Structure 1
Amino acid sequence: MAKKTLSQEAYEQIKQNLEEGLYQGYINGRQVARDLNIGFTPVREAFLQLQSEGLIRKVDNVGYFVNRVELEELIQIFQVRECIEMYVWNQTFDKITEVEIAKMKALHEQEKELFRQGILKEYTKTDIKLHGVILDFFGNADLSNLYYNVRQRYMLCPVKTVKQASVAAMEEHDQWIAYVEARDREKALNYLQQHINHTKNRMKEGFITFLE
């Protein structure tokens, strides 16, 4: 296995810190370099990659700032999710195998345990993987990339917002997966659409509460 470059190590550590909410507002690159005990160049390269992913933004003659999901952007995330997920499920429902269903069930159990332990970052990643099972099965790399890039924006939502929306979401996963396992196409797809809309509304409520 190739050894990671300093830029890659810096990128992974800074991204993890962003996901955990350790940076707020302005990010001092030289201070980050000191904190990571590396040179400034790898940090600068990491910043460029994170900027390309929309996790931070550059203000000319000032520096880099943490991006945060605004309410309008949150709604757009769910619009993209609904378009992609409903399309793919409509195309593939009759083709999924027991392997995909087993993956969904295993990821669902994993997300429940992570949430119980309060490991919200990993819980969110597992939720993304759960909904991504069908995308991976479908095999359209462009759609998968769009889905995962959009879902990554969840990491910039306030933790309290994610936590508030998650309990009901996991309960809905129980019923949704049961419909999929029963091969009830109509109920599974209708319930998925409802689940996406309900999650959007819960996130909106949590977001508004966070701003108050």
Structure 2
Amino acid sequence: MMATVPGGEELSLAERAYRAIRDRLVMLEIRPGAPINEEQLAQSLGVGRTPVREALKRLQYERMITTYPRRGTFATDVNITDLAHISEVRQELEPLAAAQAARRATATDRAALTALHQELDGAGASGQHPAELMHLDLQVHRAIYAATHNPYLEDTLVRHDNLATRIWCLFVDRLSDMAGHVEEHGPLIEAIVAGDPDRAARLARSHVEGFERAVRAAI
């Protein structure tokens, strides 16, 4: 049995389980420190335990879960001291990704980014729930990374953005302008679609720096 996502990409059961569990962890639907129950996850996803087990192996490598001998498997804690380390990586790689996306984005990439831009335009005005804004933020980042057409850069940034988003979600109730932060992606998308790598890189760096400042101010 295979699942299909937009673009015609077919996903194995293990990949589908991985993406679903990953996003539950990222959005804190599985809370930091919570035990991970393979059987419950398999039932909720409608798959067997083998795909779930394969997904959990990947998530452990990505620092989303951790396993303790004789205790079990748990969602990793969200540690604010990790913010500086994560931001250090993203401040270098996010501008690179934005610039490469501006250079390499295909017509399909640009159409996908333009559609996300239209969603962003209505995000603040419609008063979307913070969780919906966070999901939109993730979609934009992942679309930009995909547009680099560099799978190594994409994988690295997806992992770090996931970890950053967990921190963001932990403090979302204290953040004063969540919609404004997400809407910042509008000019970035415009620069990528216009094929302006220098402007895209500047905006990406500013966005990452603003994210870290906003979280630190909320602590």
Please say whether Structure 1 and Structure 2 have the same fold, judged by a TM-score greater than 0.5: yes
Which of 151, 159, 178 in structure 2 is aligned with 1:166? Answer: 178
Q: Which residue of 2 aligns with 1:141?
A: 151
Give the direction of change, closer, same or farther, for the CA distance of 1:156–1:184 in structure 2 (3 Å limit): closer
Which ranges of structure 2 fall in alignment gaps of 5 or more residues?
4-10
- Which of the residues 67, 90, 93 maps onto 2:76? 67
- What is the distance in 2 between the residues matched to 1:159 and 1:74? 13
TM-superposed CA distance for 1:147, in Å, is: 0.8
**Do residues 117 (structure 1) and 125 (structure 2) align?**
no
Please state if 1:150 is matched with 2:143: no
Which sits farther off after the overlay, 107-116 or 1-10?
A: 1-10
More helix, by proportion: 1
Structure 1 counterpart of 2:84, one-letter code: I
Q: Kindly provide the amino acid, as one letter, of the partner of residue 2 in structure 1.
A: M
| CA distance 1:30–1:100, change in 2 (3 Å) | closer
Q: Which has the larger Rg?
A: 1
Corresponding residue for residue 58 of structure 1: 67
Q: CA deviation at 1:129?
A: 3.5
Q: Which residue of 2 aligns with 1:129?
A: 139
The answer to whether the Cα contact below 8 Å between 1:81 and 1:147 also exists between their aligned partners in 2 is: yes
| Residues 145-187 of structure 1, C-alpha deviations (whole Å, 9 max, x = no match) | 1011111224433635246262231343344445666777655
Residue 2 of structure 1 corresponds to: 2
More divergent stretch after superposition (22-31 vs 82-91): 22-31
Q: Write the mapping of 1:1-212 to structure 2, written as runs, cut at 5 A.
A: 2=2, 14-18=21-25, 19-27=27-35, 29=37, 32=40, 36=44, 44-90=53-99, 93=102, 102-111=111-120, 113=122, 116-118=127-129, 120=131, 123-157=133-167, 159=169, 161-162=171-172, 164=175, 166-177=178-189, 188-206=200-218, 208=219
> Which is worse superposed, 86-95 or 38-47?
38-47
CA-CA distance at 1:65 after TM superposition: 1.9
Instruction: Give distance in 1, aligned partners of 2:216 and 2:80.
Output: 7
TM-aligned CA distance change 1:135 to 1:15, over 3 Å:
closer
TM-score w.r.t. the length of structure 1 is 0.69
Higher relative contact order (CA 8 A, sep 6+): 2
Matched residue pairs, number?
Answer: 206
**Secondary structure of 1:57's aligned partner:** strand
Aligned in 2, Cα 1:95/1:148: closer, same or farther, shift over 3 Å? closer
Could you say what the CA RMSD is over the residues aligned between the two structures, in angstroms? 4.0
Counterpart CA distance in 2 for 1:81 and 1:167 is: 21
CA contact (8 A) 1:29 1:43 kept: no
